[in-house]
Amino acid sequence: MSDGQGPATTRRRLRVELRRLREALELPQADVAKQLDWSLSKLIRIENGTVSISVTDVRALLGVYRAPHETVDDLVGLARSARERRWWSRYRDVLKPAYQEFIGFEADAVRLRQFHTTIVPGLLQIEPYIRALIPALALRPLSESYYEALVAVRLKRQEQILGDDNPTDLTVVVDEAALRRPVGGVEAMRAQLRHLAAMASREGVSIGILPFSAGPHAGMQGAFHVIEFAGDADDDVLYLESAQGDVALRDQPDVLAQYDKQLDRLWSMSLTGADAVAYLGKIADELE
């Protein structure tokens, strides 16, 4: 389990604090950009978190904001920590920036809560499932080395989140639709279902199966992730998945609260514990 001090959460704290300092002085973004001879888009990207920020740029902003010395020291420290390299940094030529940030938040989390409607959760996929799924989701043919990198990243995420001595708490609700499609063939899918059943018995992993009989529900609109952190300074975040598996951050507390409530409702509609394990076995037996 992470201590919540990784570069992703650190970068988020930094941009939140920089925006707070600007807003406290009631300085428009355009005025700050003009004083620093920056483009307005540069400051917008910094505050939105779509680009990293150098120590030099942090010092420049804090000069405009007339920040006290202790604040400068704290935020410069955050800026240095935010630029630390982690294991996924070596895949930066393959992974989209949004996915790299997602992996960073996931690594810093104390608890992960998810809903998946058409695909088995990535952290619970076995390798044959991964190898069949990744090229099937690609909108255009890609190189074998690209596919291999994505497989390696997914397996490494599983190892880091669930494989250490103190794994991150994981709660997932999986729609029955994700379990009926034989990704990789029938035998591979049966192995995948057996793996889910085994993981459901592990401490810290909770799996709910939402059967077709539950009827329509809000999760039919797509998969989503609620990522929770231990520190009071770090608000939870919400990620939504696209049809191709891309993730988009929704850093809005009111929207997150709505999804959090829906996730509780989806869990209440699901089969859990021994009932979930039995249902996974039933689906495996019925695959043709």
Residues 6+ apart with CB under 8 A from 70: none
pLDDT digits (tens, 9 = 90+) for 168-204: 999 999 999 999 999 999 999 999 999 999 999 999 9
143 and 263 housed in the same domain: yes
Which of 82, 110, 144 delimits the end of a domain?
Answer: 82
Q: CATH number of the domain that 134 lies in?
A: 3.30.870
N-term to C-term CA, the chain: 39
Q: CATH number of the domain that 59 lies in?
A: 1.10.260.40
Quote the crossing angle between the two packed helices 29-36 and 55-64, to the nearest 10°.
Answer: 110
At 140, give phi and psi (nearest 5°).
Answer: -145, 155
pLDDT digits (tens, 9 = 90+) for 3-50: 556 778 888 889 889 999 999 999 999 999 999 999 999 999 898 877
Q: What is the pTM of this model?
A: 0.86
| Cα 212–Cα 111–Cα 120 angle in degrees, nearest 5 | 35
55 and 197 housed in the same domain: no
The tokens for 35 are 């004083």
